[in-house]
Amino acid sequence: MKIEEQPFIWAVGIENTFVTQIERGERPLDEYDLTQHYQFWKEDLDRARESGASMIRYGIPWHLVEKEENIFDWSWVDGVMDYFKNHRELVPIIDLMHYGTPHWLKNEFANGKYPDYVARYAKEFAKRYGHFIKYYTPLNEPYVNAEFCGLNAVWPPYLEGLSGFYSLMTQLGKGIINTVNEIQAVISDARFVHVDATKKYFSYDPRLQEEVKLWNENRFVMWELVQGRISEFHPLYDFMLEYGVSPDTLTWFQNNQITIDIIGLNYYPQFSVHEVKRDKKGYIIYPHILGGGEELKEIVEEVHKRYQRPIFITETSFRGSEEERLKWLDECYDTCLQIQKDDIPLLGLTWFPFFDLVDWEYRTSGKSIEEELLPFGLYTLTMKDGVLQREKNRVGYKFEKLAKKRRESNC
């Protein structure tokens, strides 16, 4: 049964950011390593099944699978995929790309052959596991990827500014399209969940409304690109050309457009809503403003109006106390019910991350893993004698109660 035909889906996801290049003196950010998931993956997946979740977003460490160019080592992945094969009640949506690239790929996403290399890796995965793995995210959060790697020069290849942002976004977009095509050539019934971060911009300053309009359009750039929508009549067309994208590149996307199966929205109350304003020096800034269910509903309605495709909340959670997370879980679920009552095909929600994660700042902070643990999860991580203990917290128990109640009601 396709997930579009199922009752409301409760899902979880294990944080799987992989940024392991250390040429500039940073520490490798491999969340599976830092949270000891490589060691305790089976126990973690057992907990995910026990949570009441019927789906899980699960990432593949490309940097370990293909340590040498075109030589693939699936030994660790084999064990995990066998688990999914033997436990069909927990269906994985495979995150093929979650930021990091192999070390042999010089210039990372800026490498001209990146779109071909990532698609080759995806095809190898599909050939090996595609007889039972049907759901894929070609690349998680292109917007954040291009932001960290191309706009703000935080991660390799350390590009900067809007020219860097769009250069990376077009590279990532080509990789997404090539990945979809290569997997479909192997798995005719593959389904793709195209996941990106949600953004909502607003301003109290009437002089900044054009800026708000621009960024509220730019938040959709990945979905617009891969569907070949950005032509000379598109509101982003001239803006992208101004920052270095060639007309030929946008024509390539028009000629190689793909159809989106499912839209995945990652919404975080603390990170998804931005106020556009000027600082004391007159510069335009975009600080985060705490959002809630109302903003999530508005975003879902806008996405559905634009694309008319099934929607999945593929990430949501709240960084904070158990009380704050419990409050958001209830609010988010209530919002999802309201959205469904409006006949919008919202498939379900994903609590992400399943257990606490290590802050991305770990790469440069010099702090210990324990000091960098962030309280997001249904399970709390606590270091004891060098081992990160997993303890189900009150949010985990509430998630399990809601998921099982909804599943039993079959509505």
Find the CATH number of the domain harbouring 327: 3.20.20.80
Q: Is residue 276 within a helix (H) or strand (E), and if so which, with residue range?
A: none
Q: Is 3 domain-assigned?
A: no
Q: Is 4 domain-assigned?
A: no
φ/ψ (deg, to 5) at 289: -125, 135
Q: Is 2 domain-assigned?
A: no
Q: How many structural domains compose the chain?
A: 1
Q: What is the pLDDT along the chain (411 residues), one digit of tens a residue?
A: 577 777 899 999 999 999 999 999 999 999 999 999 999 999 999 999 999 999 999 999 999 999 999 999 999 999 999 999 999 999 999 999 999 899 999 999 999 999 999 999 999 999 999 999 999 999 999 999 999 999 999 999 999 999 999 999 999 999 999 999 999 999 999 999 999 999 999 999 999 999 999 999 999 999 999 999 999 999 999 999 999 999 999 999 999 999 999 999 999 999 999 999 999 998 999 999 999 999 999 999 999 999 999 999 999 999 999 999 999 999 999 999 999 999 999 999 999 999 999 999 999 999 999 999 999 999 999 999 999 999 999 999 999 999 988 666 654
pLDDT in the model for residue 143? 97
Burial 151-160 (b: 16+ CB within 10 A, else e): beebbbbbbe
Q: Is 57 domain-assigned?
A: yes
Q: Is 1 domain-assigned?
A: no
Q: How far is CA 210 from CA 203, 235, 411, in A?
A: 10, 12, 43
Q: Is 262 domain-assigned?
A: yes
Question: Judging by beta carbons within 10 Å of its beta carbon (0-12, 13-18, 19+), is residue 407 exposed, middle or buried?
Answer: middle
Q: Is 303 domain-assigned?
A: yes
Q: How far apart are CA 225 and CA 231, in angstroms?
A: 10
Q: Is 401 domain-assigned?
A: yes
Q: How far apart are CA 175 and CA 171, in angstroms?
A: 6
Residue ranges making up the domain that contains 158: 9-409
